[in-house]
Each structure stands twice: as C-alpha cells, then as structure tokens.
Chain A
Amino acid sequence: MLQCTRTALAIALFCLVARSAGAFDLNEVAPGVFVHQGQLALMTQENSGDIANLGAIVGEKAVAVIDTGGSAAEGRAFLAALQQRTTKPLRYVINTHVHPDHIFGNIAFRDTGALFVGHKNLPRALAARGPHYLSSFRAALGPLIDEVALIAPTLTVDGVTTLDLGGRSIELRAWRTAHSDADLTVLDAASGTLFAGDLLFLRHVPVVDGSLLGFLAVVDELRRIDARRVVPGHGPAVAPWPQALDAQAAYLQRLTRDLRAAIAAGESLGAAATSAAQSEKSAWSLFHDYNVRNATAGFAELEWDSP
C-alpha cells in the first residue's frame, strides 16, 4: 500500500516536473537563435504572464536575451531552458520596451552578471509607469506579483548600438514613439533574424500605447530593414519578413482613416471610439480588449492633427 502510494507520488511528481519543464518551449529558429512563443492571451496567474515572445542569441563568447517575460517565474523558466541549450555566459538582457509582459521577468536575471539594455527612454518610462504596473497587475497575477521588482537598464540605446557576442554582432535600434515611447528592435545579421518587440503584432490585435501616427510611420521604416525572418512581440514565433507587417499596417491604417473621418464629421470621442476599425474585428485575437482603447487614444492624438 505504502509502496503503491509512493509510486503514485513519484509518477505524479515526475509528471509535474516533466510538465513544467516541457511547458517552457524554447526553439532554435536559426543557428544560435532561440525563441519562446508566448500565448495569445491576457496576463493571468494561470499563464504566469507568459504572453509575449522571448528570444536569445548565442555568439561564440556570449549570450544576449531579448525580453524576460511577464513574471519572475517565467523569467526563471526561461533562464533554466536557456542554460540547457548553452553554457556560454549571459552578457546582455535586452528589454524591447516597458510593458509588464516583457520586463516582469527581469528579476530572474539580476544575479547572472548580465548588463540590462534598453531604449534611452526606458528608465523614464519605468519611473512613470512602474509603480502603476506593480499595483494594477496584482489583480491579474495574484501572488506572482510579489516577486517582481523593476530593473532599469544600465546601458541605454539612442539611435543604433552594436553589441558583440563574439564572432556575432547584433544591432540594437531605438525608435521614435510608436507602439510605446521606448521601442527597441534587435537585428541578428548573421541569421537575418529581426526581433521586432511590440513594433510587430501577429494575430494579437496591435496595441497603440505611444502614437498611432508614429506607429504607422515606423511600420514603413521597418520595411527597409534587411532581414529574412521576424520574431514578433506577440503571435507565431517567426514569420517571413517583411510581409509579416502587412496585416498590422492594414489595421493601423483602417483605424486612422476611421478616426480621421469621425473627427472631420464632428463626432464625439465616445461615439468614434466604439465604431472605429470595427471592420477589422474578425481578423484579430483580443480585439475586444484593445481596439476601443486604441481608438480612444488615437482620437485624442489625431484631433490635434486635424484642421
């Protein structure tokens, strides 16, 4: 009887370990380029905030991580999975922007000796938004939020910065206000892989938390980047470049056109925000969660731009 219980317990334990180890997928999408695909969902305690795509690039001498996930738990799982793939030292932790699903995992990397890297505006954005994120995401993450601590970058990027991983250089580019006011992309020229952060959404409806017009302009500028594949901030782990931009561009253009028409017609903010871009509804996940918010902020922005 005892033996039986012990065996059952061992099996249960094994399943638990196997599941948690297997739950964090980390796939090599190109030689030395690893991607974890987040879920298409809102952050919850159940999914450990695991909703954004995360990456790692391994050079001859060092490793760079791109975003750390939505909780310390996810950050630890990422680090553990990465250490299964490489024993090279982790030198850089790059944050593509300030949003919780991309930076709450930072704390798991604090003692790795890695340098934290972000857009020149990231420290300021963390100052303005950090405390709000820590208090408002308690409802979604429950006790997982207790472990989260915000870590500001010590190396900031203004324009373009190149980091050397040993025989492999990666190019970090800071963008003007678009998805947010601290967007950073990472290009691995060796494999032709672009990590777009949340400057690219696939399937997950794009979120505008910076500037609608800025986002539209940056999408055009992104097209000129010479890459073969892209890792979006949300959606499939990899997608062909630059075609992956098309659906997002169509959404942002539709939203802009609808809002401009509503403003020209003298519509109120409330009415315009609930009707704008509704034709895009069936094309996206989480449309209900973000579209009216995008439209509300977009209306307030475009109103300054109208005659």
Chain B
Amino acid sequence: MIRRTASLPARKPRSGGEPEGSRTALRLTAAVMASLLAGAAFAQAPKIDPWPGLVTDIFHDRPIAAHEGVVALQAPVRAEDAAIVPMTITLVDPAVRKATLVIDENPMPMAAAFTIGEGAAVASIETRVRVNSYTNVHVVAETADGALHSVVKFVKASGGCSAPAIKDQDEAAANLGKMKFRRFSSADPARREAQIMIRHPNNSGLQMDPISRAYIPAHFIDRVEVRQGDALIFSMEGGISLSEDPAFRFSYKPNGARTIRVEAHDNEGGVFSGEWPVDDAS
C-alpha cells in the first residue's frame, strides 16, 4: 500500500465569488490531509484501527451512534475489480441531511460526502469507489437535528488507489468531462431514479513512473451538484477514492421541474456541466 503526503494535490484557489460551502470543502481537505498524515503513521503500525483517528479528523470527535435505523450501506464482501467497487447508501430516515462515505484504509479515506437537498427526498445513492486494501467502510449520516449515525461494512479488496484504474488512457483523455444521464423506470409515481455519469480519469496521484521516478499528477472530480430545475437534489464533495468515470445513481422526489442539471468541478479547475430534459410523467 502506498501512503504519501507528498502526492496530495494542492487545491487551487478559486477566483471570484466563493460558492457557499467552500469553507466546508477546505475544512474537509484539511481533515483529509490530517488523516493522511495519520495514515502514514498507521502504516508503521498496521494493527491500529484508523477509525478513531478518522472520527477526530473528519467528524471533529462528535459522538456517533452506531445503528442501522437511520442509514444503511450495501457493499460487496469481496471487491472483484478493486478500481470499480459499487457502494449503495440507503437513507432510511428521511431526516438525513448529509451522508459521508469513509473507506478507512484508503490513502484518502473520505471518499464522498453527500449533502441532500431540501425536499429532494433522496432515498438512495449508489456510487463506485476504489478500495486499496482490506478495509472497513463507514457511512456516517447526519440528521436534521445534528446527530451522527454510522454503519460499517468490511470489504476485501486490494490495489484500487495505487492500482491501474485507467484501462484505456487515450480514451480517458479524449472523453474528459463528457457526461451521461440515465433514467430508470420507477414503480412509484412519486419517485424517480436516475444516474449521472462523468468521464474523468480521477487520477489518484499515487502512481509513480518507475522509470522517471515521478508521480503522475492527481487529477480528480472534487465537487458535483445535481439539481432539478434550481432545486438541489444532492451535492457531493469527494476525491481520489471515487472510481474512474464517477457515477451516481440516486432516487429522488420530482418537483415538477423540466430539467436535471449537473455541474462538476475537478481539482485542476475544470468545470463540466450538463442538462437533460425530464418529462412530467415518472
């Protein structure tokens, strides 16, 4: 397993008006850096459970109740392709406002933090992650009252982050930023299910060229916002633990808006957007 702080990508300052929530983003980046440093220490003593340190770094030692009543996680017991491991977060309690996916043993443990839009009634979010070694995977949900609730699953996998994620490097470069929207049929007319897919190599920055001895720079999607009309369905802040070509499949409550809009940002300042029509009927 490769753990390096030196390879952490620098977050470029954004010009103009900082979007609301950027302070949270910076704080999370700091938390990630702290956990990376912590991770480097754990690498020397692999028997130490990284979770207590992550609770400090990511959740600032707030109390976290462990039970399944609020949030659930579906993860494979064995990840077949460590670069594409499907994870489904089910928001059991409609009061959940935020869900954070943490892959404890990954070099950048905070994989994705989802903020749920007011009234969007998101019931599930499925995404795909890289898993670097045998690890616990936590989801921590924050309810409207500010309480934190967690669930945990153990996943057997190795090599997702330092591993070859990109199977066709030319295609990855040629298609950077392309998006795709898929809609799934729903039995419940009050709900819709859709998927957003973004072409992006999500380079981890953990791959070193053995001949030049230089690291291949990190390049990854760090923020995504999905809206129906102007109303937020969910936003995501994440990093290199998301798989190449990040994908998010989610269910939500339609609000009558005629479009789904997506804006995604990467750590090099890339901005990618897409808009798709949705009809009235579900």
Q: Does B84 contact A (CB under 8 A)?
A: yes
Q: Does A266 contact B (CB under 8 A)?
A: yes
A292: which B residues are within 8 A, CB to CB?
80-81
Check A126 against B164 for contact (C-beta < 8 Å): no
Q: Does A50 contact B (CB under 8 A)?
A: no
Q: Which B residues between 226 and 261 are near A, CB-CB below 8 angstroms?
A: 243, 245, 247, 249
Check A136 against B80 for contact (C-beta < 8 Å): no
A296, B160: Cα distance in complex, Å: 14
Check B210 against A131 for contact (C-beta < 8 Å): yes
- In the complex, per-residue mask of B126-154: 1 if CB is within 8 Å of any chain A CB, else 0: 10100000000000000000000000000
Q: A177 — nearest CB in chain B belongs to which residue?
A: B168
Check A210 against B169 for contact (C-beta < 8 Å): no
Q: B166 — nearest CB in chain A belongs to which residue?
A: A128
Interface of B is mostly: loop
Q: Does A247 contact B (CB under 8 A)?
A: no
Q: Does B61 contact A (CB under 8 A)?
A: no
Q: Does B86 contact A (CB under 8 A)?
A: yes
A-B contact count (CB 8 A): 105
Q: Which A residues between 265 and 290 are near B, CB-CB below 8 angstroms?
A: 266, 268-270, 273
From residue A209, how far is it (CB to closest CB) to chain B in Å? 6
Check B168 against A210 for contact (C-beta < 8 Å): yes
A295: which B residues are within 8 A, CB to CB?
80
Q: A131-B208, A152-B211 are in contact. Are A121 and B158 (CB under 8 A)?
A: no
Binds B, one of A166-174, A194-202, A222-230, A297-305: A297-305
**Contacting A135 at CB < 8 Å: which of B2, B128, B211?**
B2
Check B81 against A296 for contact (C-beta < 8 Å): yes
Q: Does A181 contact B (CB under 8 A)?
A: yes
For chain B, which range describes its interface: under 10, 10 to 19, 20 to 34, or 35 or more residues?
A: 35 or more
Check A177 against B167 for contact (C-beta < 8 Å): yes
For chain A, which range describes its interface: under 10, 10 to 19, 20 to 34, or 35 or more residues?
A: 35 or more
Check A181 against B167 for contact (C-beta < 8 Å): yes
A131: which B residues are within 8 A, CB to CB?
2, 162, 207-210
A269: which B residues are within 8 A, CB to CB?
84, 86, 126, 128
Q: Does A124 contact B (CB under 8 A)?
A: yes
From residue B137, how far is it (CB to closest CB) to chain A in Å? 14
Check A132 against B159 for contact (C-beta < 8 Å): yes
A132: which B residues are within 8 A, CB to CB?
159, 162-164, 207
- In the complex, per-residue mask of B181-208: 1 if CB is within 8 Å of any chain A CB, else 0: 0101100000001000101000000011
Can you name 17 extra interface pairs (CB under 8 A) apart from A126-B209, A131-B162, A132-B162?
A127-B211, A130-B211, A131-B209, A131-B210, A211-B167, A266-B184, A268-B86, A269-B126, A269-B128, A270-B86, A292-B80, A296-B84, A297-B81, A300-B243, A300-B247, A303-B182, A303-B197
Chain A positions near chain B (C-beta within 8 angstroms): 121, 123-132, 134-136, 150, 152, 177, 180-181, 209-211, 214, 266, 268-270, 273, 292-293, 295-297, 300-301, 303-304, 306
A-B contact pairs, 24 of them (CB 8 A): A126-B209, A128-B166, A129-B164, A134-B210, A135-B1, A150-B210, A177-B167, A177-B168, A180-B167, A210-B167, A210-B168, A268-B249, A269-B84, A269-B128, A292-B81, A295-B80, A296-B84, A297-B81, A297-B167, A300-B128, A303-B182, A304-B180, A304-B245, A306-B182
